[in-house]
Chains A and B, each alone.
Chain A
Amino acid sequence: MFTWLLRRLFQACFVVLAMTVIVFVGVHVIGNPVDILISPEADQAERARVIAAFGLDQPLWKQYALFLNGLLHGDLGRSFVFNEPALRLIGGRMPATLELAVTAVLMSVGFGVPLGLYAGLKPNGFIGRSIMAGSILGFSLPTFWVGLMLIMVFAVTLGWLPSTGRGETGELFGLRWSFLTWDGLRHMAMPALNLSLYNISLVLRLTRAGVRETLLMDYIKFARAKGLSPARVIFVHVLKNIMIPITTVVGLELGSTIAFAVVTESVFAWPGMGKLIIDSINVLDRPVIVAYLMMIVVIFITINLVVDILYTVLDPRVRLETKA
Chain B
Amino acid sequence: MSATLEVRNLRTHFHTRAGVVKAVDDVSFSVDAGQVLGLVGESGSGKSVTGFSIIGLIDPPGRLAGGSIFYRGQDLAKISEREMRSLRGNRIAMIFQDPMMTLNPVLRIDTQMIETVQAHVNVSKAEARARARDALGMVGIPSPEERLNAYPHQFSGGMRQRVAIAIALLHNPDLLIADEPTTALDMTIQAQILAEVQKLTAEHGTALIWITHDLSVIAGLADRIAVMYAGRVVETGEAADVLDHPVHPYTHGLIGSVPSRNHRGERLRQIPGMTPSLLSLAPGCAFRSRCAHATDACAQEPPVTETSPGHTARCFHPVSS
Contacts and interface: CB of A to CB of B under 8 A. Distances in A.
Interface of A: 217-229, 232, 236-237, 240-241, 244, 314-317, 320
Nearest to B87: A227
A212 to B, nearest CB: 13
Contact of B107 (A217, A229, A240): A240
Given A225-B57, A225-B89, A241-B104, 16 more contacts: A218-B102, A219-B103, A221-B96, A222-B164, A225-B88, A225-B94, A227-B90, A227-B116, A227-B119, A227-B120, A228-B89, A228-B119, A241-B106, A316-B153, A317-B151, A317-B153
A236 B89 contact: no
B86 interface: yes
Interface in B32-68: 52, 55, 57
B105 A225 contact: no
B76 interface: no
B88 A227 contact: yes
Contacts of A316: 105-106, 108, 151, 153
A220 B106 CA distance: 12
A229 B107 CA distance: 17
B106 A314 contact: yes
Nearest to B93: A225
Interface string B115-158: 11001100000000000000000000000000000010110000
Contacts of B106: 240-241, 244, 314-316
Contacts of A314: 106
Contacts, number: 77
Contacts of B153: 316-317, 320
B167 A226 contact: yes
Given A244-B106, A316-B106, A225 B151 contact: no
Contact of B102 (A219, A232, A236): A219
Interface of B: 52, 55, 57, 85-90, 93-94, 96, 98, 101-108, 112, 115-116, 119-120, 151, 153-154, 164, 167
Contacts of A225: 55, 57, 88-89, 93-94
B104 A223 contact: yes
A226 B151 contact: no
A227 B113 CA distance: 12
Contacts of B57: 221, 224-225
B105 A219 contact: yes
A229 B105 contact: no
Nearest to B107: A240
A22 B88 CA distance: 63
A191 to B, nearest CB: 36
13 contacts: A218-B101, A222-B94, A222-B96, A222-B103, A222-B164, A223-B104, A224-B57, A226-B88, A227-B88, A240-B104, A241-B105, A316-B153, A317-B153
B93 to A, nearest CB: 7
A224 B88 contact: yes
B119 A229 contact: yes
B52 to A, nearest CB: 8
A222 B105 contact: no
Nearest to A124: B60
Contacts of A224: 57, 88
Contacts of B52: 221
A222 B90 CA distance: 13
Nearest to A243: B106
* Top-4 shortest CB links A-B: A227-B89, A226-B89, A218-B101, A227-B88
B104 A320 contact: no
Contacts of A219: 101-105
A297 to B, nearest CB: 33
A227 B107 CA distance: 17
Given A219-B102, A224-B57, A227-B120, A237 B107 contact: yes
B115 A320 contact: no
A121 B120 CA distance: 25
B4 to A, nearest CB: 18
A229 B120 CA distance: 10
A217 B101 CA distance: 7
Contacts of B108: 316
Contacts of B101: 217-219
A227 B106 CA distance: 19
Interface centre among A222, A315, A320 (most CB of B within 10 A): A222
Contacts of A227: 85-90, 116, 119-120
Nearest to A216: B59
A218 B98 contact: yes
Nearest to B151: A316
A223 B85 CA distance: 11
B89 A320 contact: no
A318 B87 CA distance: 36
A277 B94 CA distance: 62
Contacts of B96: 218, 221-222
Contacts of A228: 89, 115-116, 119
Nearest to B100: A218
Nearest to B60: A124
A237 B115 CA distance: 11
A159 B152 CA distance: 56
A91 to B, nearest CB: 39
B165 to A, nearest CB: 12
B110 to A, nearest CB: 13
Contacts of A244: 106
Nearest to B94: A225
Interface centre among B96, B98, B104, B108 (most CB of A within 10 A): B104
